[in-house]
Amino acid sequence: MKEDGTRENTKRLITETALQQFLEKGIKEVKMDDIASLLSVSKRTIYELFGDKEQLLLESLLLQQKMMRDEAKRIIRDANHILDIILKLYSLYFDKLKMVNSNFFKEIEKYPEICRRSRKREQKNNKKFLAWMEMARKQGLFREDANFEILLYILQRDIEAIIAVKKMDVSNELSKYTLDELGRSLVLFYLRGISTPKGQEIIEEYLKIK
């Protein structure tokens, strides 16, 4: 990294590097010294910019959220229809999930403020998801009698079960399957189950390329 880089550029580079390290290795394993060494900057510079490791973790996750939002906006812009958006965002979520070290999920629970922010963001995302589901129903892609709030509740519980396997907190029948296999099964069980014939055709095409 060049010494004449601006403060904001330096902060951005540190944040990007920290995010990659946290996700790949887990939070506990990453030391401020490691990040300083990777970027050839002083540890003092990192502390001046972020204060402590928790603040660096928070800003790293905020950067990740921004990157996800930018990717979601691209998906929405290029989508052919609402079900295209739902399926591609679903794929994006599982693709990112595969890249996260199992320790990260366990260790993030030690940061209550970050977890509180995460739950608040999840609530906002749930509202968007329900709105998209209603839009898909209006477009004739989902059944008229589908209860999306119940579906969302059950889907979240199953995703939590998958993350529990990823965390290695449990060892059960799910442990022998990959995240791709688990994600595909959720699409088949939930989204295809509430789809009209028109929606099922779209989902079948999606599954062929996954």
C-alpha count within 13 angstroms, C-beta hemisphere, residue 140: 3
Amino acid 2: pLDDT: 47
pTM for this predicted structure: 0.84
Q: Where is the domain boundary, 67, 94, 113?
A: 67
8 vs 180: CA distance, rounded Å: 37
In a domain, 170, yes or no: yes
Q: What is the mean pLDDT of residues 72-101?
A: 90
Verify that 39 and 104 share a domain, yes or no.
Answer: no
Verify that 87 and 133 share a domain, yes or no.
Answer: yes
Q: Where is the domain boundary, 67, 93, 108?
A: 67
pLDDT tens, 111-143? 999 999 999 999 999 999 999 999 999 999 999
Verify that 14 and 107 share a domain, yes or no.
Answer: no
Cα–Cα separations (whole angstroms), residue 204 to 141, 144, 193, 210: 13, 20, 12, 10
Q: Are the C-beta atoms of 194 and 146 separated by less than 8 Å? A: yes
Q: Are the C-beta atoms of 129 and 151 separated by less than 8 Å? A: no
Verify that 46 and 83 share a domain, yes or no.
Answer: no
Domain count, the chain: 2
What is the domain extent for residue 137? 79-210
Amino acid 61: pLDDT: 96
Verify that 125 and 41 share a domain, yes or no.
Answer: no
pLDDT tens, 17-69? 999 999 999 999 999 999 999 999 999 999 999 999 999 999 999 999 999 99
Verify that 100 and 186 share a domain, yes or no.
Answer: yes
Kindly tell me if the per-residue pLDDT of 168 is higher than 80. Answer: no
In a domain, 72, yes or no: no
Helix or strand run (H / E) with residue 127: helix 112-138
Amino acid 185: pLDDT: 86
- The β-bridge partners of 195 are 142
Verify that 119 and 177 share a domain, yes or no.
Answer: yes
Kindly tell me if the per-residue pLDDT of 209 is higher than 80. Answer: no
Amino acid 155: pLDDT: 87
Verify that 62 and 110 share a domain, yes or no.
Answer: no
203 vs 81: CA distance, rounded Å: 12
Verify that 101 and 131 share a domain, yes or no.
Answer: yes
In a domain, 74, yes or no: no
The lowest-confidence range among 8-12, 104-108, 181-185 is: 181-185
